[in-house]
Chains A and B, each alone.
Chain A
Amino acid sequence: MMQGVVKSTFPVLFGYIPLGIAFGMLFQDLGYPWYLATLMAFFVYAGTAQFMIVGLLAAGVGLTEIAISTFLINSRHIFYGLSMLNSYGDWGLKKIYLAFGLTDETYSLVTTIDLKDDSAKERQFFIITALNHSYWVISCTIGAVIGGSFSINTQGMEFTLTALFVVLVIEQWKQIRKPLPFVIAAFSSMVALYLFSDQMLLGSIALSVTLLIITNFLENRHE
């Protein structure tokens, strides 16, 4: 069983390698020592925000702007947490770590786990979260250490994340067998792409959760 859980994280490993290395390289281009990239990967642990900060640091933006833009770029995770409330038991410190590590990729993997046994679920969530976290820290470190001095051909490897999400949509369909969430998602992403292309992810997630709550409200009224 554990073997299967470890295997399920492999696509994330292969997705994080090129992304983490790319981040590490860009970061050390700014002239900082490599271990600061490791530190950032470990504590911030948010790919999009880390790429954003490279640009902001180069432009010399203030701390307040950094705080606000980091919060905004990651605020989609609020919705991830909301949908996980019932999945987490009373797991104390571990729960705080699981929340800390709830990235897009970790969320994708843990939401496919459907177990009644709480302690088994806790263990699996923890393994997935810790493995993904370590993949990210290691990849960012490698990128920062090798810098521009060495090139490995990982071109195209980032497609694993695209393939992972595509496969998980199919898996979700097999579980749910109702078009509703997929229709809402398609509609919301098209609207968000059109209205706010830069903040498409946050926009479409916020819109789709809002539409979901409205649908739930309408369904209840008809009953």
Chain B
Amino acid sequence: MNSTEYILTVILVMTIATFATRIMPFLFFHGRSNHPTMNYIAKYTPPMIMSILVVYVLKDVNFSNDIGLYTLLSVVITIAVHAWKGNPLVSIFTGTFLYMFLVQM
């Protein structure tokens, strides 16, 4: 296999492996179900996953240096602006501009 053929095979393998994780639930359960446990999972999983993603994106931040301080400050400002204005885009971009300004300064 030359290197382009090899990388095309890698892409194919990765496509199948990734797609499998995303399509599996829909293959195992056909259509909508009104099972109460399923409804319970559907209701509470999004807030759980969103909270876990916050921990995930912050887990490698070293809170004892400047970057940690900038991150903390920007997260606090994002929350404060969101509590104040309640507009997701405004909150997200205010926090991000602040963070970019601080790290590039």
Contacts and interface: CB of A to CB of B under 8 A. Distances in A.
Interface of A: 7-8, 10-11, 14, 31-33, 36, 39-40, 43-46, 49-50, 53, 57, 63, 66-68, 70-71, 74-90, 95-96, 99-102, 104, 107-108, 111-112, 153, 155-157, 159-173, 175-176, 180-182, 184-186, 188-190, 193, 197, 200-201, 204-205, 208-209, 212-213, 216-217, 220
A127 B100 CA distance: 29
Contact of B56 (A33, A99, A201, A217): A201
Given A84-B42, A167-B78, A200-B59, A155 B48 contact: no
Interface in B67-93: 71, 74-75, 78-79, 82-83, 88-89, 91-93
Contact of A95 (B12, B26, B96): B26
B104 A156 contact: yes
Nearest to A164: B92
Given A166-B75, A170-B79, A77 B22 contact: yes
A155 B104 contact: yes
A176 B50 CA distance: 13
Given A77-B21, A155-B103, A163-B92, A184 B48 contact: yes
Interface string B1-21: 001100111111111111111
Nearest to B49: A205
Contact of A83 (B8, B45, B71): B45
Nearest to A82: B25
Contacts of B44: 176, 180-181, 184, 212
5 contacts: A40-B11, A44-B14, A44-B18, A111-B46, A188-B48
A124 B86 CA distance: 21
Given A44-B11, A157-B100, A205 B23 contact: no
Contacts of B83: 170
Main secondary structure of the interface of A (DSSP, over half): helix
Given A182-B47, A193-B59, A81 B22 contact: yes
Contacts of A168: 50, 88
Given A100-B22, A153-B104, A170-B82, A86 B47 contact: no
Given A11-B89, A36-B11, A173-B47, A201 B52 contact: yes
Contacts of A70: 13-14, 17-18
A166 B78 contact: yes
Contacts of A85: 25-26, 29, 32-33, 38, 42
A41 B91 CA distance: 29
A181 B96 contact: no
Given A63-B13, A85-B29, A162 B41 contact: no
